[in-house]
Every structure is written in structure tokens, then in C-alpha cells.
Amino acid sequence: MELRDSPAEAAFRQEVRAWLNDTVPTLPDKPDPTDWPARRAYDTRWQAMLYEAGYAGVNWPKEYGGLGATPGEHLVFLEESARAGAPDVGVNFVGLLHGGPTLILEGRPDQQAEHLPRILRGETVWCQGFSEPEAGSDLASLRTRAVRDGDDYVVTGQKIWTSFAMVADYCELLVRTDPDAPKHRGISWLIMPMDAPGIEVRPLRTVEGTEEFAELFLDEVRIPVANRVGEENDGWRVAQTTFSFERGTSLVSEMLDAMGLVADLTRLARRVTRRSGTAWDDAGLRREVGMVAAELDGLWALTKRNVTQAGRGALSVAGGSAFKLVYADVLHRLGDLAVRILDRASLSLEDLPVTAGGAPERTGAQVHSDLHALAMSIAAGTSQIQRNILAEKVLGLPREPR
């Protein structure tokens, strides 16, 4: 495992840092989180700026429009972006971190030529249509049906938790193309244009007050057979490629943000009054904050190990699942600590003072993170699913009875 920058990575770090230092201060304020057209415009503009500067798809191969950087250089880019307070991937998440990488490994040349450049330039936004009301953790039980009719599939069914569906141009969609096959063998992976007739999008309001997710209702939606990625009924294998990206370094930016939240929470704890002192005077609380900080440091080392393995051509399923499982747990405990430290300020998503008569502090981000932790235990495979993966594929334990 490489914990220090190589000479090439150190040079790349200085180059990226200089560009970010010059560019990030010129950006406009972020839009209202409930204004989805404005959020799409903001996020795709940032993606276009990255493309023009040569930093779009840092870890994508050059032949597909990326920078062709090493996994270590990609990690450097993510680390420096977080340090500079650059915009996160936003609505480009599914296209850049799921759909695009899946097409690189599994797509046909014509699919790659059509979609990859537009994803990198921020011209198209993707959403994910995997989960269903009756098939969440047991995704292979999905029921959305695709019936072959000439050169089209006719798709009918329902999806839920469809990220960014309200502003997406395309959806990575899992459908059942053979209802008589074993459930893992009758699935296909399709690219669905979101302007196709028969699609209804119903936004879902989250506890944070935003509508990041939506329900999709599909009523005889016609999708060209040419939009299938991989062979018919081989979609579960293709989906495993998607999952490997979802559970791997796609969460690195979030983890770096969490490390920043620990530093902010420490600063807030030194200001929040408790009797004749501050919250930080509590030795037990300091110990808990230190444990969370140490575990995030450990996850950062695990990330570097995973990246080192990826640089040697190994894609670690175990590393991704272990990261996801531990990160979800740490995020929960960080949120619990924030609630205890902020006290009444933890009841609002807005920034509030933590001292009598003081100015508002950065409390809102802590509350948002606490609520987001609820989703992190479910997204990209529930914690129970990650435990099963580790038990079966790493420890060699028997499969869970069906």
C-alpha cells in the first residue's frame, strides 16, 4: 500500500491545487437545493469547466475522453477538490461514477461514442433505475418487465429511489427479460431515454426537505434493443460492474467531507457552553470524537490500499464492501455526536448560533450529515447486504438460506 505521493502524484497535486485555487473563488453561489433546474445548470457548468481544463474523467482512459490518470492521481484530485471546497459531482453522479464506467467496461463502441463524451462534457445527466418497491435489498427480485417486440423492448413496471430522475436525460435501467429464468439470470441492463413516452416521474421528498429521489412509473415504454448493454439476460453480471464502482471510490468525496465535519464539530464543541465550561471539557466526548476521527483516518488508509490494488489491476469487491459498511456506521456515530454537542441547534437544518447572542455557526451541515447517514446505511447496498458479501466472498461462510 502506498501512503505517500509518488513524484508524479506530487507534481499532479501541485498542478491541480493551482488550478482549483484560481478557479473555485470565481464560481457563483450554489443554488437553492430545492431548485432542480438551477442545480442541474450549476453542476453541469462545473463539469464543463472541468472538461475544458482537462480534468473531466480524471481516471477515465484517454481513448474515452478522460485524462488517463492513475488511481493514485485520481485520489489526489478528489482530495484537492475537497480541500479547495470545489463543487461535488452533484447531478452528474450517476453518469460519471456509475453509467459511464459501466459503458467503458461493458458497452459497445457505438454506445461508448454516443454517451461517454457527452457525460464528460456535462451535456447529459443520468439517473439510476434499479430499486423497486418490492425489490430493494433483494434487487434480483425486480419485476419491471421488458418484452421484446421487433427492434424494441416494451417496458412496464415501477422503480423507486431513482436519483436525479427529475433532471435526467438517460436512466441506467434493470429489467426482467426472462420471467421463467432464475431471478439472477433473467435480467438485462438498458439505457432508457427519459423523454420516451410512457414515463412518469414522481419526486419523493426526503427528510432533508429535498427531492433528490423519485418514483418512476413505466407504462409500455419502448426502448430500442440497441440500448441494451451486454447480452440479453446477462444484466445481473453487468450490474455487478456498476455496483463495484458504486461501493468503491465513488464515496471518497463524501468521506473527505465527513473528515472536514469532524474538524468543524471539534471547533463547535469548544464554543458550546456547558455549565461553567464548554462541551469540549467532557473527556468522554473528546474520546468519542477522537475515535470517529481515527476511524475516518483508517478508512482513508483503506481507500489508499484499494486504490493501490486497482493500480495493479485488481478490483477489490471485499475492499469496497468493507469501506461502505464501516463508513455508514461511522457516519451514524458522527451524527449522534453532532446532535449531543449542538443540542437545540440540531433541530434545524439552518445555521444557528451556538452561544447566547452569537452569530450563526456552521451547524446546518452537521444536521444534514446526521440525516444523510440514515440513507447511507441503505444506499449502494444495505449494511446487511455488505455483511453478507464479506461473509460469503471473504470468509467463505455458507450462503444465507433463501
Give catalytic residue positions. Answer: 246
C-alpha of 280 from chain center: 33
Contacts of 370 (CB under 8 A, 6+ apart): 334, 335, 336, 338, 339, 346
Q: Are 253 and 81 in contact (CB under 8 A)?
A: yes
Report the amino acid identity of residue 366: Q
Nearest in space to 142 (alpha carbons), one of 163, 166, 102, 173: 173
Q: Rounded to an integer, what distance in angstroms lies between the CA atom of residue 81 and that of residue 216? A: 33
Q: Are 301 and 2 in contact (CB under 8 A)?
A: no
Q: Rounded to an integer, what distance in angstroms lies between the CA atom of residue 233 and that of residue 189? A: 8
Residue given cell 447566547 in the structure block: 356
Q: Rounded to an integer, what distance in angstroms lies between the CA atom of residue 215 and that of residue 131? A: 10
Report the amino acid identity of residue 49: M
Report the amino acid identity of residue 376: M
Residue given cell 467532557 in the structure block: 282
252-269 vs 71-84: helix crossing angle, rounded to 10? 40
Q: Are 70 and 77 in contact (CB under 8 A)?
A: no
Q: Rounded to an integer, what distance in angstroms lies between the CA atom of residue 60 and that of residue 104? A: 8
Q: Rounded to an integer, what distance in angstroms lies between the CA atom of residue 73 and that of residue 59? A: 8
Q: Rounded to an integer, what distance in angstroms lies between the CA atom of residue 341 and that of residue 263? A: 13
For 97-186, list the strands marked E by DSSP: 126-129, 145-149, 152-159, 170-176
Looking at the chain, how many residues does it have? 402
Burial class (CB in 10 A: 0-12, 13-18, 19+), 386: buried
Report the amino acid identity of residue 352: L
Residue given cell 464506467 in the structure block: 101
